[in-house]
Structure 1
Amino acid sequence: MSEDGSRGPQKPSIYDVARAAGVSHMTVSRVLNGHPNIRESTRSRVLTAIDEMQYTRSSIARALATNRTMRIGVLVDSPVQWGPNSTLRAIESAARARHYSVSSFATSDEDAETIAAGIADLVAQGIDALCVIAPRSSALELFREHGSNMPTLVIKAEPDPHLHTVGVDQYAGARMAVRHLIDLGHREIAHASGPLDWYDARARSHGWRDELRAAGLREGRLVQGDWTSDTGYEIGLSGQLDGSTAVFAGNDQTALGLVHAFTDRGIRVPDDVSIIGFDDLPETRHFLPPLTTVRQDFTALGALALRLLMAAIDGEDTPQHELIAPHLIVRDSTSGSLHRP
């Protein structure tokens, strides 16, 4: 690192790193950009030099050299909810691993002007691509009216003929949950769903219904909620699910409210009624009883989304629709039915 008395210590350049590592500056650039065709010994030597010299890339120089800002824009609807928030964090983590930064714009309003303002704000920051986390059908329809021409990916479990989409397979996860209950002997399986304006809630409801039909069982009771534990508690107190030996809750928070309500009413979980959730929140293993649920792999979702966005930026063909498989996590809130026919 050079030093000039009039200007103080100077930051190391990519050429300084190259000299220290004994490679060309182009090799350093390839390492920084995650190029796969680099020997591990060379990659390690370059990364060691970067650490020792405390080298930081100039975003301005990088943009001039590559004609890219190395920045992804994320428009996220309903960011306080677990799914959208976890997806955003996963994309941020995946972006950092590939030396990209993320600018996000959050909205919870069904307002065309807000969606348009969000897109304009992100585009003004010089993003290379746009990721849209729009879990509600109403929000996605507004986005369609104001979409950008840049590479765009939508987080959505359902395929879309006009958009490139990726998501966790909500439908398969729901069928997995209901199949678990059927295998335990349950025949009266209710569903406390999320708001059916949400794509995930609709897919989970369809999965619940189709799995019951495939098993030759009649459709149980469906009560729509709003993803919250408070509403789950109200549903459990209301008696609307009485007569069911098992409940597939639309998410873990709804399941928590149901467990609370049933306990207050003297209905034992899982002795009298089994409950299964969806999401695998970090706290679910500490519910009383610990909750059987369906886990969404947001880390894998973020990595897939980032990979497809980068491919689109490079002008490569990308799949129209890809899904991440969910996983069933069996704990103590489900057991064999006491009311088998």
Structure 2
Amino acid sequence: MTSARRPAMSDVATLAGVSGQTVSRVINGHDNVSPDTRLRVKRALAELGYRPHRAARALRTGRSEVLGVVVATLETVGNSLMLQAVAAAAEREGYSIALVSLGENVALADAVDRLAEQGVDAAVIVNEATRYIADVVSAPIRLVLVDAPADVPYPTVRSDHERAAFELTSHLLARGFPAHHIAGPADSFAAQAREQGWRRAHETADLVAPDPLRGDWTAESGRRLGAELARASEVRAVFCANDQMALGAMHALHAAGRAIPADVAVAGFDGISDAVNFWPPLTTVEQDFAGLAAAAMGLAIADTDVHRVIPAHIVQRASSVVAD
């Protein structure tokens, strides 16, 4: 028994009643096709399940339509959400992705070289992986960095971490107490920016910011540091640099008998979907991961070196708001 033949462009042309050249124009997005003809061709493409041969199209266009993505780890929710959003943005543009995780034995420069050897059109360096960008002396492919300072010689996309952290901390400070901070890793750009916003909010409120405690983005580090804070009766508000650490801190506060938010207000950052189901529901900063990914994808396929900042929004919930 032989397998069914893969539909060819000539089959699409026959079904749509047009020339093969017209089918090619529609597939490649050319403008010189009438709306009615374009619609007929698209219907024929869908009916036959036709997919252009990627290798042949790469020879014609000079593009592989493959986007490289480099992540440091997928163990943190923020990295996973960003990767998911980049994959969706790539699919909308007709791209597939080639993923490299740095792990313990893969340097960023080696990851970029590996993607270049695979013929990707460009690569998006996601979140924590950008901390190693100085190791890339000369990139053989176009790079776009998600969450990196604007002084790097590559286009960048980032959330407005500093402003969002300032606004969230100001919300916590409205209770009249300093807000303790469970920060992210010291070499993380996002963690640094969020810490800057937290500090600026205290300066604006004419309050002394307590010494931050440094976690590693995991719920376990939040639990461990939250237990330390729970033992201090003067702790009345805690801003965690991501939602996972906030989950751990809330666990520790509950275990110590500290009521949230009556005794201690808690807030996180990222806006993960599970935050609404924490107990109590978590106040957080909601990052626009889809917007970040769309901007990164746009920069990856365009010849523009710019730095894009995507707004992030506070979502107030019961973990920081005392009911009247």
User: How far did residue 22 of structure 1 move?
Assistant: 4.5
Match of 1:278 in 2: 269
In 1, Cα distance between the equivalents of 2:77 and 2:156?
19
Match of 2:172 in 1: 181
User: How far did residue 23 of structure 1 move?
Assistant: 4.9
Match of 1:3 in 2: none
What secondary structure does 1:283 align onto?
helix
Give the length in aligned residue pairs. 322
The gaps in structure 2 that reach 5 residues or longer are none
**Which whole-Å deviations, capped at 9, do the CAs of 1:162-218 have from their partners, x for residues lacking one?**
121112221122112112223x43331111111111111111101100122122222
Distance 1:229 1:134, change over 3 A: closer
Residue 73 of structure 1, aligned match among 62, 68, 76: 68
User: How far did residue 80 of structure 1 move?
Assistant: 2.1
TM-score calculated relative to the size of structure 2: 0.89
Answer whether contact 1:33 1:99 (CA < 8 A) is retained.
no
Match of 1:306 in 2: 297
Match of 1:4 in 2: none
**Which whole-Å deviations, capped at 9, do the CAs of 1:249-306 have from their partners, x for residues lacking one?**
1111111111111111111000111000011222111111010111111111111111
User: How far did residue 331 of structure 1 move?
Assistant: 1.1
Match of 1:287 in 2: 278
- Deviation larger for 210-219 or 99-108: 210-219
Residue 225 of structure 2, aligned match among 226, 235, 239: 235
Match of 1:315 in 2: none
| Letter of the 1:238 counterpart | E
In 2, Cα distance between the equivalents of 1:306 and 1:137?
16
Distance 1:192 1:119, change over 3 A: same
What secondary structure does 1:135 align onto?
helix
Answer whether contact 2:70 2:129 (CA < 8 A) is retained.
no
- Deviation larger for 327-336 or 268-277: 327-336
Over the residues paired in the alignment, what is the CA RMSD in angstroms? 2.6
Residue 219 of structure 1, aligned match among 209, 225, 235: 209
Distance 1:288 1:82, change over 3 A: same
Residue 57 of structure 1, aligned match among 52, 55, 58: 52
Answer whether contact 1:186 1:245 (CA < 8 A) is retained.
no
In 2, Cα distance between the equivalents of 1:169 and 1:261?
29
Match of 1:330 in 2: 316
In 2, Cα distance between the equivalents of 1:20 and 1:243?
75
| Aligned positions of 1:133-172 closer than 5 A | 133-135=126-128, 138-142=131-135, 144-145=136-137, 147-172=138-163
Match of 2:109 in 1: 116
**Which whole-Å deviations, capped at 9, do the CAs of 1:228-264 have from their partners, x for residues lacking one?**
2112111122237641321111111111111111111
In 2, Cα distance between the equivalents of 1:8 and 1:335?
63
Answer whether contact 2:108 2:129 (CA < 8 A) is retained.
no
In 2, Cα distance between the equivalents of 1:91 and 1:38?
31
Distance 1:212 1:97, change over 3 A: same
Match of 1:87 in 2: 82
Distance 1:28 1:220, change over 3 A: farther
Residue 192 of structure 2, aligned match among 202, 211, 215: 202
| Letter of the 2:108 counterpart | I
Answer whether contact 2:130 2:146 (CA < 8 A) is retained.
no
Answer whether contact 1:232 1:256 (CA < 8 A) is retained.
yes
Distance 1:127 1:137, change over 3 A: closer
Distance 1:223 1:37, change over 3 A: farther
Answer whether contact 1:270 1:334 (CA < 8 A) is retained.
yes
What secondary structure does 2:144 align onto?
strand
Answer whether contact 1:157 1:323 (CA < 8 A) is retained.
no
User: How far did residue 57 of structure 1 move?
Assistant: 1.1
In 2, Cα distance between the equivalents of 1:187 and 1:40?
63
Answer whether contact 2:71 2:129 (CA < 8 A) is retained.
no
In 1, Cα distance between the equivalents of 2:112 and 2:314?
36
Identity %: 34
Match of 2:125 in 1: 132
User: How far did residue 61 of structure 1 move?
Assistant: 1.3
In 1, Cα distance between the equivalents of 2:297 and 2:222?
35
In 2, Cα distance between the equivalents of 1:39 and 1:222?
62
Answer whether contact 1:130 1:152 (CA < 8 A) is retained.
yes
